[in-house]
Amino acid sequence: MQIAVIGTGYVGLVTATVFADLGNDVIAVDVNEEKVRGLKAGKMPFYEPGMEEMVTRNHADGRLDFTSDTAEAVQRSEVIFICVDTPPKADGSSDLSHVEAAAKAIARAMNGPKVVVNKSTVPVGTGDLVGRIIEAHKPPQYTFEVVSNPEFLREGSAIADSLHPDRIIIGASNPQATMKLIELYAPLERQMLICDVASAEIIKYASNSFLATKISFINAIANLCEKVGADVGQVVKGMGADRRISAEFLSPGLGFGGSCFPKDTLSILRVSEKYGCKFGIVEAALEVNQARAQLFVARMERILGSLTGKTIGLLGLSFKPDTDDLREAKSLEIIELLLARGATVRAYDPVAMEKAKDLLGGKITLCDTPYQLVEGCDAVAIITEWNEFKQLNLERMHALMKQPVVFDGRNIYPPERMAKFGFKYYSVGRPEPA
């Protein structure tokens, strides 16, 4: 099938590459010509395991190409995916300017019937908006259909999620357009759910908001566990054993970040307000999440005394492992809180260092290895649960630190192991060391 993908951000590049790998002829569009040249040369704009190899192979085999010419891509394709950014505005609602621009560009380039697929995360009603824009700007003789096909990719496992999705949502009002998407996804042999466009648009926001709420719920439980001396790990085991609940996303820690959960929860709140629906559950989830970094730093201050003049090492910067994404990363919030209290901050991350240099400038010291980071530190804070950190030589780490104090924001170590190596170990939702 001839496919165009508008946008080579995270969703767009993964979508284009996976469809090409399934044997389709795919052309991906980005207005940034330098980025297009880089992609043609095999330079990835972000880190994702397996991405570079898959892009390089499919580009070399001629199934995947890149261009900055939207009209060329539209005219070569029968199905066009809109995969552009929908960042939050100041009030939390979604900025649809990139979606609107893509719709206009598609309309003006139309040279035949097209199926236009919204894969960007967009509020309910966007499919209708795209339809109106295309209708207003297209040549009158050509027809089109708008479909909603939300993505459910997790950074760090996006390729596997694309090839083995839990479900494929197709929101459409036209049977021919529906069949076109079914044909496209048929090689995956996965469950497909067919619904109307509005329902498909809400499914994405509802899913992410529910998972964000689940994370905030267990973090609120972790707060209670710390107060009463309970172990949140045992609580999670007990809750997760209930099949109605499961342990998925019951991971106490620093809260959710990244490009999806913070943005999508705010967006669904704004949409709900627009239609007069109060969404107090999501408001509470956001309130819990916004307090996580502050509570974490306040605990450091309580244990260490004044943070002024203290050297704090941060293990991890990306918002989650297996990605270099710093969007809404808790590390950034924690860094600002520590600096405001007079601390000197060092940091190390396996893949996010280049982006951190651009973002943080000279605010903190970026280290080349975990052991360089911990040397002379008054405390180390674990921010991202990279597997590399789980395998550190704790004896060596203890010897290098000024004080053997560890604040674990992701609970990657058993407390008894840390005690064995002589650390004062403070984790989330667990009893504090004596």
Asked if pLDDT for residue 394 goes beyond 90, the answer is yes
The arrangement of strands across the sheet holding 168-171 comes to 64-67, 25-29, 2-6, 79-82, 114-118, 144-148, 168-171, 192-195
In this structure, what token pair is assigned to residue 417?
């192991």
CATH number of the domain at 2-195, please?
A: 3.40.50.720
CB 178 within 8 A of CB 148: no
Give the model's confidence band at 361: pLDDT under 50 very low, under 70 low, under 90 confident, else very high.
confident
**144, 178 Cβ separation under 8 angstroms:** no
Interval 60-107: pLDDT, tens: 999 999 999 999 999 999 999 999 999 999 999 999 999 999 999 999
- Taking every pair of C-alpha atoms in the chain, what is the biggest distance, in angstroms? 77
Catalytic residue among 83, 225, 260, 377: 260
Output the CA–CA distances (angstroms, integers) from residue 6 to 45, 46, 54, 155, 217, in the order listed: 15, 17, 19, 20, 37
- Whether residue 54 has pLDDT greater than 80: yes
Q: What confidence tier does 434 reach under pLDDT thresholds 50, 70, 90? A: confident
What is the sign of the dihedral through the CA atoms of 32, 33, 36 and 37? negative
Sign of CA dihedral 371, 373, 376, 377: negative
Residues in the chain: 434
Ranges of CATH 3.40.50.720 domains, the chain: 2-195, 240-427
CA distance 297 to 287: 17
Q: Are 324 and 10 a contacting pair, CB within 8 Å?
A: no
Q: Are 329 and 318 in contact (CB under 8 A)?
A: yes
- CA dihedral angle for residue 320, residue 325, residue 327, residue 332, rounded to 10 degrees: 70
Q: What is the CATH number of domain 240-427?
A: 3.40.50.720
What CA–CA distances, in Å, run from 350 to 53, 69, 170, 318, 364? 19, 35, 37, 9, 17
Q: What are the start-end ranges of the H helices in 110-196?
A: 126-137, 158-163, 175-185
DSSP helix/strand/coil, 325: coil
C-alpha R_g of the chain: 24
Task: Say whether 34 sits in a helix, a strand or coil.
Answer: helix
Active-site residue 260, yes or no?
A: yes
Average pLDDT over residues 190-198: 97
Q: How far apart are CA 208 and CA 296, in angstroms?
A: 24
Sheet with 311-315, side-by-side order of all strands = 365-366, 344-348, 311-315, 379-382, 405-408, 424-427
Supply the pLDDT for residue 398. 98
> How crowded is residue 161: how many other Cβ atoms within 10 Å of its Cβ?
17
Q: What band does 362 get if pLDDT is binned at 50, 70 and 90?
A: confident
**Interval 145-178: pLDDT, tens:** 999 999 999 999 999 999 999 999 999 999 999 9
Q: How far apart are CA 347 and CA 322, in angstroms?
A: 17
**Would you say 214 and 240 are in contact if contact means Cβ atoms under 8 Å apart?**
no
**Angle at which helices 10-21 and 51-60 pack, to 10 degrees?**
50
Cα–Cα distance, 430 to 229 (Å, whole number):
7
Is 128's pLDDT higher than 90? yes
Centroid of chain to Cα 350: 17
DSSP string, 102-126: HHHHHHHH--S-EEEEE-S---TTH
The kind and range of the H/E element at 2 are strand 2-6
pLDDT tens figures, 234-280: 999 999 999 999 999 999 999 999 989 999 999 999 999 999 999 99
pTM, to two decimals: 0.92
Average pLDDT for the chain: 96
Q: What is the b/e burial string over 198-215, where b = at least 16 CB atoms within 10 angstroms of the residue's CB? A: bebbbbbbebbbebbbbb
- The pLDDT value recorded for residue 193 is 97
In 3-state terms the chain splits into helix, strand, coil percentages (rounded to 5) of 45, 15, 40
What is the per-residue pLDDT for 259? 86
